[in-house]
Amino acid sequence: MFEYNPDKHYPKETESRAVIRFQDCDPLQHLNNAKYFDYYFNAREDQVPKLYGVEMYDLIKKYQAAWVVYNHNISYVRPAMVGEWIRIRSRVLWHDENTVVIEYYMLDDSKKELKNLLWTTLKYVGLKDGKVKSHKGEIVDFLKATTDDFDITKCTIAERVKQLKTKLKED
């Protein structure tokens, strides 16, 4: 379970390294559009417990609620190619009392080229009734500790692509 420690620094972003597998690619050797989701979700599932000590299934059992996908917004910038090593970053971009937006993006291994950006919006719902619920307890603490002050209402995904590309050039 997540125990918030006000003296501890919680990284806002996770990062994983992966290789693009042949079986996940189309005949042009590009990562299949649908496979980006698998790479993103697997990377986040691997990193969150390591960085924050949080097993999402434990929170789901404790609060009898889970996040369900409400919307995906994805921007394909440059293809990820078979055999290529890539970096996957993710973070809670924004949240309110019953919704979270997770940002995922893929870079080349040198972290200089943006390949893809995904925003996934999730609603928090009860397991028994499927109705939207408010975040409670440790979930609120976790979200506060790991979310930046990003105003999602003032940025489109296209603008975010430009921001990330600019940041990569500066780094």
pLDDT score of 61: 94
Which residue range is the domain that position 107 belongs to? 14-170
Q: Is residue 2 part of a domain?
A: no
- Written as one letter, the residue type at 120 is T
Phi and psi at residue 110, to the nearest 5°? -85, -5
Q: Is residue 53 part of a domain?
A: yes
Question: How far apart (Å, rounded) are the C-alpha atoms in residues 8 and 26?
Answer: 44
Q: Is residue 163 part of a domain?
A: yes
What domain count does the chain have? 1
| Distance, CA of 99 to chain centre | 14
Question: How far apart (Å, rounded) are the C-alpha atoms in residues 19 and 21?
Answer: 6
The whole-model pTM stands at 0.94
Q: Is residue 164 part of a domain?
A: yes
Reported as a single tens digit per residue, the pLDDT across 51-75 is 998 888 999 999 999 999 999 999 9
pLDDT score of 20: 98
Reported as a single tens digit per residue, the pLDDT across 119-156 is 999 999 999 999 999 999 999 999 999 998 899 999 99
Q: Is residue 9 part of a domain?
A: no
CATH number of the domain that residue 60 is part of: 3.10.129.10
Q: Is residue 3 part of a domain?
A: no
